[in-house]
Amino acid sequence: MLNTSSVTLRASALAFVWVFLAACDDDAAPASVTPDPTEGEKEDSAKIAANWKSKIDHTWLHVDLADRTAEASIWFEPGRSSTVSLEAAGLTIDAVTSDTGPVAWEKRAGALHIAHDVGKGPIHIDYRFPVEPQGEGLAGNGSTVLWPYYCGNLFPCRSGPADGMRFVMEVSGTKSDERAIYPEELPADAPSYTLAFAVGRYTCQVLGKTPAATEVSVCWLPRGKTKALTGTKSLVKAFAWLESHIGPYTFGKKVASIAVAWGESAAGGMEHHPYWHIATSEMELPLTHVHEAVHGWFGTGVRMRCWEDFVLSEGTTSYLSARALAQVTDARTENAIWDEYEETLEATLEDEDILAWPTTCGKVDILDDGLFSNIVYMKGAFFWRDVAKAIGPEVLDEVFSGFYRARVGTAAGMQDLLDEVRIETGFDPAPLVQKWLRSRGNPLR
Protein backbone atom coordinates (compact mmCIF):
# COMPACT_ATOMS: atom_id res chain seq x y z
CA MET A 1 0.00 0.00 0.00
CA LEU A 2 2.84 2.32 0.70
CA ASN A 3 4.91 3.93 -1.96
CA THR A 4 8.21 2.76 -0.49
CA SER A 5 10.47 4.27 -3.14
CA SER A 6 9.29 7.83 -2.60
CA VAL A 7 9.64 7.49 1.16
CA THR A 8 13.21 6.19 0.85
CA LEU A 9 14.23 9.06 -1.45
CA ARG A 10 12.64 11.64 0.72
CA ALA A 11 13.97 10.16 3.92
CA SER A 12 17.57 9.91 2.76
CA ALA A 13 17.56 13.61 1.89
CA LEU A 14 16.41 14.27 5.41
CA ALA A 15 18.84 12.00 7.21
CA PHE A 16 20.72 14.92 8.69
CA VAL A 17 17.55 16.37 10.19
CA TRP A 18 16.64 13.10 11.84
CA VAL A 19 20.05 12.56 13.38
CA PHE A 20 19.86 16.02 14.88
CA LEU A 21 16.34 15.46 16.18
CA ALA A 22 17.22 12.15 17.74
CA ALA A 23 19.66 13.92 20.00
CA CYS A 24 17.22 16.43 21.48
CA ASP A 25 13.80 14.99 21.05
CA ASP A 26 11.15 14.19 23.58
CA ASP A 27 9.36 11.75 21.32
CA ALA A 28 10.56 8.61 19.61
CA ALA A 29 12.39 10.24 16.72
CA PRO A 30 14.03 7.84 14.31
CA ALA A 31 17.79 8.09 13.92
CA SER A 32 17.80 6.24 10.63
CA VAL A 33 15.41 5.26 7.95
CA THR A 34 13.85 1.83 8.00
CA PRO A 35 11.28 0.29 5.70
CA ASP A 36 7.63 0.68 6.51
CA PRO A 37 6.16 -1.79 8.96
CA THR A 38 5.68 -5.35 8.01
CA GLU A 39 2.99 -7.56 9.44
CA GLY A 40 3.51 -8.04 13.16
CA GLU A 41 5.04 -4.65 13.81
CA LYS A 42 1.59 -3.09 13.87
CA GLU A 43 0.96 -3.86 17.51
CA ASP A 44 4.14 -2.13 18.61
CA SER A 45 2.79 1.33 17.97
CA ALA A 46 0.37 1.31 20.87
CA LYS A 47 3.12 0.32 23.27
CA ILE A 48 5.44 3.04 21.94
CA ALA A 49 2.61 5.53 22.33
CA ALA A 50 2.70 5.31 26.09
CA ASN A 51 6.06 7.09 25.97
CA TRP A 52 5.08 9.87 23.58
CA LYS A 53 5.09 13.19 25.33
CA SER A 54 3.27 15.56 23.00
CA LYS A 55 -0.49 15.49 23.56
CA ILE A 56 -3.17 15.83 20.88
CA ASP A 57 -5.57 18.67 21.52
CA HIS A 58 -7.98 18.17 18.64
CA THR A 59 -8.18 16.63 15.19
CA TRP A 60 -9.92 17.80 12.03
CA LEU A 61 -10.62 14.96 9.65
CA HIS A 62 -12.00 14.77 6.12
CA VAL A 63 -12.53 11.23 4.90
CA ASP A 64 -13.46 10.55 1.27
CA LEU A 65 -14.91 7.09 0.85
CA ALA A 66 -14.98 7.13 -2.96
CA ASP A 67 -11.21 6.75 -3.29
CA ARG A 68 -10.38 6.15 0.42
CA THR A 69 -8.27 9.27 0.73
CA ALA A 70 -8.27 11.54 3.76
CA GLU A 71 -6.85 14.73 5.16
CA ALA A 72 -6.15 15.18 8.84
CA SER A 73 -5.11 18.35 10.65
CA ILE A 74 -3.92 17.83 14.19
CA TRP A 75 -3.45 20.47 16.86
CA PHE A 76 -1.30 19.68 19.88
CA GLU A 77 -1.37 20.89 23.43
CA PRO A 78 1.39 23.39 24.27
CA GLY A 79 4.65 21.61 25.01
CA ARG A 80 8.35 21.39 24.27
CA SER A 81 8.39 18.47 21.88
CA SER A 82 10.21 19.08 18.57
CA THR A 83 8.81 15.99 16.90
CA VAL A 84 5.48 14.31 17.13
CA SER A 85 4.76 10.65 16.67
CA LEU A 86 1.38 9.26 15.76
CA GLU A 87 0.03 5.76 15.27
CA ALA A 88 -0.62 5.18 11.59
CA ALA A 89 -0.13 1.43 11.05
CA GLY A 90 -2.64 1.01 8.23
CA LEU A 91 -2.17 4.37 6.51
CA THR A 92 -0.30 5.23 3.33
CA ILE A 93 1.07 8.71 3.93
CA ASP A 94 1.19 11.01 0.89
CA ALA A 95 2.23 14.36 2.35
CA VAL A 96 2.88 16.06 5.66
CA THR A 97 2.92 19.84 5.98
CA SER A 98 2.74 22.52 8.64
CA ASP A 99 1.18 25.95 8.12
CA THR A 100 4.52 27.12 6.70
CA GLY A 101 5.17 24.27 4.25
CA PRO A 102 6.40 20.66 3.96
CA VAL A 103 8.05 19.08 7.00
CA ALA A 104 10.31 16.05 7.43
CA TRP A 105 8.55 12.82 8.29
CA GLU A 106 9.11 9.10 8.38
CA LYS A 107 6.85 6.11 8.91
CA ARG A 108 8.41 3.33 10.93
CA ALA A 109 7.12 0.43 13.06
CA GLY A 110 3.49 1.43 12.59
CA ALA A 111 4.10 5.03 13.59
CA LEU A 112 4.40 8.31 11.73
CA HIS A 113 7.23 10.48 13.07
CA ILE A 114 7.13 14.15 12.11
CA ALA A 115 9.68 16.90 12.69
CA HIS A 116 7.36 19.54 14.08
CA ASP A 117 7.51 22.01 16.91
CA VAL A 118 4.16 21.50 18.66
CA GLY A 119 4.11 25.16 19.63
CA LYS A 120 3.92 26.24 15.99
CA GLY A 121 0.39 25.31 15.00
CA PRO A 122 -1.21 22.24 13.48
CA ILE A 123 0.26 19.53 11.31
CA HIS A 124 -1.56 18.51 8.10
CA ILE A 125 -1.42 14.97 6.75
CA ASP A 126 -2.71 13.68 3.39
CA TYR A 127 -3.08 9.92 3.30
CA ARG A 128 -4.93 6.87 2.07
CA PHE A 129 -6.58 4.25 4.27
CA PRO A 130 -7.56 0.61 3.68
CA VAL A 131 -10.64 -1.52 4.22
CA GLU A 132 -9.79 -3.73 7.19
CA PRO A 133 -11.30 -6.91 8.67
CA GLN A 134 -14.40 -6.25 10.81
CA GLY A 135 -13.38 -4.57 14.06
CA GLU A 136 -10.01 -3.20 12.96
CA GLY A 137 -10.88 0.02 11.16
CA LEU A 138 -13.23 0.70 8.26
CA ALA A 139 -14.92 -2.62 7.46
CA GLY A 140 -16.51 -3.76 4.23
CA ASN A 141 -19.98 -3.14 5.71
CA GLY A 142 -19.33 0.62 5.70
CA SER A 143 -18.96 1.20 9.44
CA THR A 144 -15.84 1.73 11.51
CA VAL A 145 -14.70 0.14 14.78
CA LEU A 146 -11.39 1.42 16.12
CA TRP A 147 -11.61 -0.10 19.61
CA PRO A 148 -9.31 -0.82 21.30
CA TYR A 149 -6.21 0.36 19.43
CA TYR A 150 -6.97 0.37 15.71
CA CYS A 151 -7.39 4.13 15.19
CA GLY A 152 -4.11 4.09 13.23
CA ASN A 153 -5.92 2.17 10.48
CA LEU A 154 -8.20 5.16 9.85
CA PHE A 155 -6.42 8.33 10.95
CA PRO A 156 -3.11 9.39 12.55
CA CYS A 157 -3.82 9.09 16.26
CA ARG A 158 -2.95 7.99 19.79
CA SER A 159 -4.79 4.88 20.91
CA GLY A 160 -4.09 4.89 24.66
CA PRO A 161 -7.40 4.81 26.57
CA ALA A 162 -6.26 7.75 28.71
CA ASP A 163 -5.47 9.94 25.68
CA GLY A 164 -8.35 12.33 25.18
CA MET A 165 -9.15 14.13 21.95
CA ARG A 166 -11.83 16.30 20.43
CA PHE A 167 -12.53 16.14 16.72
CA VAL A 168 -14.30 17.75 13.82
CA MET A 169 -15.16 15.35 11.01
CA GLU A 170 -16.50 15.29 7.49
CA VAL A 171 -17.24 12.16 5.49
CA SER A 172 -17.80 12.40 1.72
CA GLY A 173 -17.90 10.07 -1.27
CA THR A 174 -20.87 7.92 -0.25
CA LYS A 175 -23.00 6.25 -2.94
CA SER A 176 -26.14 8.12 -3.94
CA ASP A 177 -28.55 5.75 -2.15
CA GLU A 178 -26.48 5.70 1.07
CA ARG A 179 -25.99 8.05 3.95
CA ALA A 180 -23.02 8.54 6.25
CA ILE A 181 -24.01 8.90 9.91
CA TYR A 182 -21.42 10.63 12.07
CA PRO A 183 -21.09 13.56 14.44
CA GLU A 184 -19.63 16.61 12.72
CA GLU A 185 -18.04 17.52 16.00
CA LEU A 186 -17.04 15.85 19.23
CA PRO A 187 -16.87 18.82 21.58
CA ALA A 188 -15.36 17.14 24.67
CA ASP A 189 -12.30 14.95 25.19
CA ALA A 190 -12.84 11.25 24.45
CA PRO A 191 -10.60 8.26 23.68
CA SER A 192 -9.57 7.82 20.01
CA TYR A 193 -11.86 4.81 19.56
CA THR A 194 -14.89 7.07 20.05
CA LEU A 195 -14.50 8.39 16.50
CA ALA A 196 -16.70 6.49 14.05
CA PHE A 197 -18.97 6.68 11.07
CA ALA A 198 -21.54 4.31 9.63
CA VAL A 199 -22.58 4.24 5.99
CA GLY A 200 -25.72 2.59 4.68
CA ARG A 201 -29.32 3.07 3.59
CA TYR A 202 -30.33 4.62 6.91
CA THR A 203 -33.64 5.97 8.11
CA CYS A 204 -33.60 7.99 11.33
CA GLN A 205 -36.32 9.06 13.71
CA VAL A 206 -36.25 11.50 16.61
CA LEU A 207 -37.49 9.68 19.72
CA GLY A 208 -37.79 12.74 21.93
CA LYS A 209 -36.01 15.36 23.96
CA THR A 210 -34.83 15.08 27.54
CA PRO A 211 -35.55 17.85 30.10
CA ALA A 212 -31.90 18.91 29.58
CA ALA A 213 -32.79 19.45 25.88
CA THR A 214 -30.79 16.52 24.50
CA GLU A 215 -32.46 15.19 21.36
CA VAL A 216 -32.42 11.38 21.26
CA SER A 217 -32.79 9.56 17.92
CA VAL A 218 -32.50 6.09 16.46
CA CYS A 219 -31.32 5.11 12.95
CA TRP A 220 -31.97 1.76 11.33
CA LEU A 221 -31.03 -0.09 8.16
CA PRO A 222 -33.63 -1.50 5.68
CA ARG A 223 -36.14 -3.84 7.40
CA GLY A 224 -34.88 -2.73 10.82
CA LYS A 225 -37.58 -0.27 11.91
CA THR A 226 -39.65 -2.47 14.24
CA LYS A 227 -36.64 -3.78 16.14
CA ALA A 228 -35.16 -0.26 16.39
CA LEU A 229 -38.35 1.26 17.83
CA THR A 230 -38.88 -1.69 20.20
CA GLY A 231 -35.36 -1.49 21.60
CA THR A 232 -35.42 2.28 22.12
CA LYS A 233 -38.84 2.60 23.78
CA SER A 234 -37.27 3.65 27.10
CA LEU A 235 -34.11 5.28 25.75
CA VAL A 236 -35.15 8.93 26.15
CA LYS A 237 -36.28 8.33 29.74
CA ALA A 238 -33.12 6.39 30.60
CA PHE A 239 -30.93 9.11 29.08
CA ALA A 240 -32.83 11.75 31.03
CA TRP A 241 -32.37 9.71 34.23
CA LEU A 242 -28.60 9.64 33.63
CA GLU A 243 -28.49 13.39 32.98
CA SER A 244 -30.41 14.17 36.14
CA HIS A 245 -28.81 11.57 38.45
CA ILE A 246 -25.19 11.34 37.23
CA GLY A 247 -24.51 14.67 35.53
CA PRO A 248 -24.71 16.72 32.31
CA TYR A 249 -23.82 14.93 29.08
CA THR A 250 -20.79 16.53 27.38
CA PHE A 251 -20.78 15.23 23.79
CA GLY A 252 -23.41 17.53 22.28
CA LYS A 253 -27.16 18.11 22.27
CA LYS A 254 -28.00 15.36 19.74
CA VAL A 255 -27.44 11.66 20.43
CA ALA A 256 -28.51 8.50 18.62
CA SER A 257 -28.44 4.72 18.56
CA ILE A 258 -27.23 3.63 15.11
CA ALA A 259 -27.79 0.09 13.78
CA VAL A 260 -24.68 -1.42 12.21
CA ALA A 261 -24.47 -4.61 10.15
CA TRP A 262 -21.65 -6.37 11.94
CA GLY A 263 -22.93 -9.74 10.71
CA GLU A 264 -25.13 -12.43 12.22
CA SER A 265 -22.61 -13.69 14.75
CA ALA A 266 -21.75 -10.23 16.11
CA ALA A 267 -23.42 -8.92 19.24
CA GLY A 268 -23.45 -5.87 21.47
CA GLY A 269 -22.63 -2.34 20.51
CA MET A 270 -19.87 0.25 20.61
CA GLU A 271 -19.75 3.50 22.55
CA HIS A 272 -19.20 5.83 19.59
CA HIS A 273 -20.60 8.91 21.27
CA PRO A 274 -22.71 10.82 20.52
CA TYR A 275 -23.94 8.37 17.81
CA TRP A 276 -23.19 5.00 19.34
CA HIS A 277 -23.45 1.82 17.27
CA ILE A 278 -25.65 -1.20 18.02
CA ALA A 279 -25.32 -4.55 16.21
CA THR A 280 -28.43 -5.19 14.10
CA SER A 281 -28.85 -8.49 16.01
CA GLU A 282 -29.42 -6.53 19.26
CA MET A 283 -31.44 -3.54 18.06
CA GLU A 284 -34.58 -4.80 19.81
CA LEU A 285 -32.80 -5.12 23.19
CA PRO A 286 -33.34 -2.03 25.41
CA LEU A 287 -30.38 -2.86 27.67
CA THR A 288 -27.87 -2.74 24.79
CA HIS A 289 -29.01 0.78 23.81
CA VAL A 290 -28.86 2.02 27.40
CA HIS A 291 -25.48 0.31 27.98
CA GLU A 292 -23.85 2.21 25.11
CA ALA A 293 -25.52 5.43 26.24
CA VAL A 294 -24.13 5.02 29.79
CA HIS A 295 -20.59 4.97 28.39
CA GLY A 296 -21.13 8.68 27.72
CA TRP A 297 -20.57 9.00 31.47
CA PHE A 298 -18.22 6.06 32.21
CA GLY A 299 -15.51 4.95 29.74
CA THR A 300 -15.95 7.85 27.33
CA GLY A 301 -16.97 10.80 29.55
CA VAL A 302 -14.50 9.72 32.23
CA ARG A 303 -11.79 7.75 30.41
CA MET A 304 -9.77 4.78 31.68
CA ARG A 305 -6.30 5.47 33.02
CA CYS A 306 -5.08 2.19 31.45
CA TRP A 307 -6.71 -0.95 30.04
CA GLU A 308 -6.47 -2.66 33.42
CA ASP A 309 -9.17 -0.21 34.53
CA PHE A 310 -11.56 -1.77 32.00
CA VAL A 311 -13.88 -2.63 34.93
CA LEU A 312 -14.28 1.11 35.65
CA SER A 313 -15.76 1.41 32.17
CA GLU A 314 -17.58 -1.88 31.61
CA GLY A 315 -18.43 -3.01 35.15
CA THR A 316 -19.76 0.40 36.11
CA THR A 317 -21.64 0.71 32.81
CA SER A 318 -23.20 -2.75 33.16
CA TYR A 319 -24.40 -1.88 36.68
CA LEU A 320 -25.56 1.61 35.80
CA SER A 321 -27.39 0.58 32.62
CA ALA A 322 -29.37 -1.98 34.66
CA ARG A 323 -30.06 0.69 37.30
CA ALA A 324 -31.09 3.42 34.82
CA LEU A 325 -33.34 1.11 32.82
CA ALA A 326 -34.95 -0.28 35.97
CA GLN A 327 -35.60 3.23 37.29
CA VAL A 328 -37.57 4.17 34.17
CA THR A 329 -39.39 0.83 33.75
CA ASP A 330 -40.29 -1.64 36.48
CA ALA A 331 -39.04 -4.26 38.95
CA ARG A 332 -39.75 -7.09 36.50
CA THR A 333 -37.34 -5.56 33.98
CA GLU A 334 -34.72 -5.11 36.68
CA ASN A 335 -35.00 -8.72 37.85
CA ALA A 336 -34.80 -10.00 34.30
CA ILE A 337 -31.58 -8.05 33.69
CA TRP A 338 -29.89 -9.45 36.80
CA ASP A 339 -31.05 -12.98 35.92
CA GLU A 340 -29.47 -12.48 32.51
CA TYR A 341 -26.26 -11.14 34.06
CA GLU A 342 -26.09 -14.21 36.31
CA GLU A 343 -26.56 -16.55 33.35
CA THR A 344 -23.90 -14.68 31.38
CA LEU A 345 -21.45 -14.90 34.27
CA GLU A 346 -22.04 -18.62 34.72
CA ALA A 347 -21.74 -19.34 31.00
CA THR A 348 -18.54 -17.29 30.74
CA LEU A 349 -16.99 -19.04 33.73
CA GLU A 350 -17.44 -22.37 31.98
CA ASP A 351 -14.96 -21.17 29.35
CA GLU A 352 -12.64 -18.75 31.10
CA ASP A 353 -11.80 -17.18 34.43
CA ILE A 354 -9.72 -14.09 35.04
CA LEU A 355 -9.37 -11.38 37.68
CA ALA A 356 -11.80 -8.63 36.67
CA TRP A 357 -9.38 -5.98 37.88
CA PRO A 358 -5.67 -6.78 37.36
CA THR A 359 -3.19 -5.26 39.80
CA THR A 360 -0.95 -3.66 37.12
CA CYS A 361 -1.48 -0.52 35.01
CA GLY A 362 -0.27 -0.21 31.43
CA LYS A 363 0.99 -3.80 31.23
CA VAL A 364 -1.80 -5.83 29.70
CA ASP A 365 -2.92 -6.02 26.09
CA ILE A 366 -6.72 -5.87 26.37
CA LEU A 367 -7.17 -8.39 23.54
CA ASP A 368 -4.11 -10.66 23.71
CA ASP A 369 -4.17 -11.04 27.50
CA GLY A 370 -7.86 -11.94 27.68
CA LEU A 371 -9.13 -8.96 29.68
CA PHE A 372 -11.82 -8.27 27.07
CA SER A 373 -14.10 -10.76 28.78
CA ASN A 374 -17.68 -10.85 30.06
CA ILE A 375 -16.13 -11.59 33.46
CA VAL A 376 -15.17 -7.91 33.72
CA TYR A 377 -18.64 -6.72 32.70
CA MET A 378 -20.58 -9.09 34.93
CA LYS A 379 -18.39 -9.24 38.04
CA GLY A 380 -18.07 -5.46 37.86
CA ALA A 381 -21.85 -5.14 37.78
CA PHE A 382 -22.38 -7.57 40.69
CA PHE A 383 -19.66 -5.78 42.66
CA TRP A 384 -21.51 -2.46 42.35
CA ARG A 385 -24.83 -4.15 43.18
CA ASP A 386 -23.32 -5.39 46.44
CA VAL A 387 -21.97 -1.90 47.20
CA ALA A 388 -25.46 -0.51 46.49
CA LYS A 389 -26.98 -3.05 48.88
CA ALA A 390 -24.55 -1.90 51.58
CA ILE A 391 -24.87 1.88 51.23
CA GLY A 392 -28.17 2.22 49.35
CA PRO A 393 -28.54 2.56 45.55
CA GLU A 394 -29.44 6.27 45.81
CA VAL A 395 -26.28 6.94 47.80
CA LEU A 396 -24.23 5.09 45.17
CA ASP A 397 -25.88 7.21 42.44
CA GLU A 398 -24.63 10.28 44.32
CA VAL A 399 -21.10 8.88 44.59
CA PHE A 400 -21.08 8.17 40.84
CA SER A 401 -22.40 11.67 40.21
CA GLY A 402 -19.75 13.37 42.35
CA PHE A 403 -17.01 11.31 40.72
CA TYR A 404 -18.30 12.02 37.21
CA ARG A 405 -18.76 15.76 37.73
CA ALA A 406 -15.25 16.09 39.16
CA ARG A 407 -13.53 13.99 36.49
CA VAL A 408 -15.49 14.26 33.24
CA GLY A 409 -13.08 14.92 30.36
CA THR A 410 -10.17 13.27 32.18
CA ALA A 411 -8.80 9.76 32.75
CA ALA A 412 -9.24 7.95 36.06
CA GLY A 413 -8.66 4.56 37.63
CA MET A 414 -11.02 2.14 39.36
CA GLN A 415 -9.16 2.90 42.60
CA ASP A 416 -10.16 6.58 42.31
CA LEU A 417 -13.82 5.60 42.26
CA LEU A 418 -13.38 3.17 45.18
CA ASP A 419 -11.67 5.96 47.15
CA GLU A 420 -14.65 8.19 46.40
CA VAL A 421 -17.00 5.53 47.86
CA ARG A 422 -14.95 5.35 51.05
CA ILE A 423 -14.49 9.11 51.46
CA GLU A 424 -18.11 10.03 50.70
CA THR A 425 -19.87 7.25 52.61
CA GLY A 426 -17.38 5.81 55.11
CA PHE A 427 -18.03 2.37 53.63
CA ASP A 428 -14.88 0.38 52.89
CA PRO A 429 -15.44 -1.57 49.66
CA ALA A 430 -12.18 -3.56 50.01
CA PRO A 431 -13.81 -6.88 51.06
CA LEU A 432 -16.20 -6.67 48.10
CA VAL A 433 -13.29 -5.80 45.81
CA GLN A 434 -11.58 -8.97 46.99
CA LYS A 435 -14.76 -11.02 46.55
CA TRP A 436 -15.70 -9.81 43.07
CA LEU A 437 -12.74 -8.21 41.34
CA ARG A 438 -9.67 -9.89 42.76
CA SER A 439 -10.87 -13.51 43.05
CA ARG A 440 -11.66 -16.22 40.58
CA GLY A 441 -14.77 -18.39 40.56
CA ASN A 442 -18.43 -17.50 41.08
CA PRO A 443 -19.26 -15.71 44.39
CA LEU A 444 -22.98 -16.21 43.65
CA ARG A 445 -22.64 -19.94 44.25
Q: Contact 410/416 with Cβ under 8 angstroms?
A: no
**Smallest distance from the beta carbon of 82 to Zn ion, in angstroms?**
39
Nearer to Zn ion among residue 7 and residue 146 (C-beta)? 146
- Contacts with Zn ion: how many residues (CB under 5 A)? 2
**Smallest distance from the beta carbon of 323 to Zn ion, in angstroms?**
15
* Phi, psi of 208, deg, nearest 5: 155, 180
**Smallest distance from the beta carbon of 317 to Zn ion, in angstroms?**
5
Nearer to Zn ion among residue 159 and residue 317 (C-beta)? 317
Q: Residue 58 and residue 409: Cα distance in Å, rounded?
A: 13
* Phi, psi of 181, deg, nearest 5: -105, 120
Nearer to Zn ion among residue 112 and residue 258 (C-beta)? 258
Nearer to Zn ion among residue 141 and residue 317 (C-beta)? 317
Compute how many other C-beta atoms are within 10 angstroms of the C-beta atom of residue 78. 9
Query: Any bridge partners for residue 73, and if so which?
Result: 60, 124
**SS3 state of residue 57:** strand
Nearer to Zn ion among residue 87 and residue 314 (C-beta)? 314
* Phi, psi of 73, deg, nearest 5: -120, 130
Chain centroid to CA 109: how far?
23
**Smallest distance from the beta carbon of 314 to Zn ion, in angstroms?**
5
**Smallest distance from the beta carbon of 321 to Zn ion, in angstroms?**
8
**Smallest distance from the beta carbon of 350 to Zn ion, in angstroms?**
22
Contact positions with Zn ion (CB under 5 A) in 291-320: 314, 317
Q: Contact 81/74 with Cβ under 8 angstroms?
A: no
Nearer to Zn ion among residue 247 and residue 269 (C-beta)? 269
Q: Residue 434 and residue 431: Cα distance in Å, rounded?
A: 5
Local structure of residue 89 (DSSP, 8 states): T
Q: Contact 153/146 with Cβ under 8 angstroms?
A: yes
**Smallest distance from the beta carbon of 318 to Zn ion, in angstroms?**
7
Nearer to Zn ion among residue 314 and residue 397 (C-beta)? 314
Q: Contact 82/52 with Cβ under 8 angstroms?
A: no
Q: Residue 22 and residue 32: Cα distance in Å, rounded?
A: 9
Local structure of residue 239 (DSSP, 8 states): H
Q: Residue 216 and residue 237: Cα distance in Å, rounded?
A: 10
**Smallest distance from the beta carbon of 80 to Zn ion, in angstroms?**
37
Q: Contact 2/107 with Cβ under 8 angstroms?
A: yes
Nearer to Zn ion among residue 199 and residue 304 (C-beta)? 304
**Smallest distance from the beta carbon of 49 to Zn ion, in angstroms?**
23
Contact positions with Zn ion (CB under 5 A) in 344-363: none
Nearer to Zn ion among residue 18 and residue 319 (C-beta)? 319
Q: Residue 75 and residue 56: Cα distance in Å, rounded?
A: 6
Q: Residue 320 and residue 296: Cα distance in Å, rounded?
A: 12
**Smallest distance from the beta carbon of 8 to Zn ion, in angstroms?**
43
DSSP string covering 179-210: EEE--SEEEEEE-GGG---EEES-EEEEEEE-
CA geometry: angle 163, 110, 276, nearest 5 deg = 45
Nearer to Zn ion among residue 45 and residue 313 (C-beta)? 313
What is the x/- site pattern for Zn ion, positions 100-129, by CB under 5 A?
A: ------------------------------
- Nearest C-alpha neighbor of 46 from the set 10, 85, 11: 85
Classify strands 254-260 and 215-220 as parallel, antiparallel or unpaired: parallel
**Smallest distance from the beta carbon of 377 to Zn ion, in angstroms?**
7
Helix (H) or strand (E) holding 73: strand 69-76
Nearer to Zn ion among residue 132 and residue 314 (C-beta)? 314
**Using CB under 5 A as the criterion, which residues of the chain lie in contact with Zn ion when the complex forms?**
314, 317
